[in-house]
């Protein structure tokens, strides 16, 4: 019985607009080898999502104030 020689689709490199993207294994290896990079990205995610949540909260509250002022 022969084993399949094709790689699974999740491990193939994806071509986006002519740029060859990294495969899933490359990203996993990058994050396992660089804990400092992983920490920096998590800090960036926390700061970005907190700031976007604050902006969204202010936008929604100002819109609700406008709606209630019209009544």
Q: pLDDT at position 50, please?
A: 76
Any domain includes 4: no
Any domain includes 1: no
- pLDDT bracket for residue 1 (50, 70, 90): low
- pLDDT bracket for residue 18 (50, 70, 90): very low
Contact between 11 and 23 under an 8 Å Cβ cutoff? The reply is yes
Q: pLDDT at position 19, please?
A: 43
Model's pTM, two decimal places? Answer: 0.30
Q: Rounded distance, CA 60 to CA 67, Å?
A: 11
Q: Specify the residue for token string 């999740």.
A: 10
**Domain housing 22:** 9-70
Any domain includes 3: no
Contact between 10 and 24 under an 8 Å Cβ cutoff? The reply is yes
How many domains does the structure of the chain reveal? 1
Contact between 23 and 30 under an 8 Å Cβ cutoff? The reply is no
Any domain includes 2: no
Q: Rounded distance, CA 66 to CA 22, Å?
A: 47
Any domain includes 27: yes
């Amino acid at each position: 019985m022969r084993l399949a020689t094709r790689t699974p689709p999740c491990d193939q490199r994806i071509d986006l607009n002519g740029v060859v993207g990294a495969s899933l294994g490359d990203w996993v290896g990058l994050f396992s080898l660089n804990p400092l990079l992983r920490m920096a990205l998590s800090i960036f995610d926390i700061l970005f999502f907190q700031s976007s949540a604050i902006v969204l909260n202010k936008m929604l509250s100002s819109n609700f104030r406008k709606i209630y002022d019209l009544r």
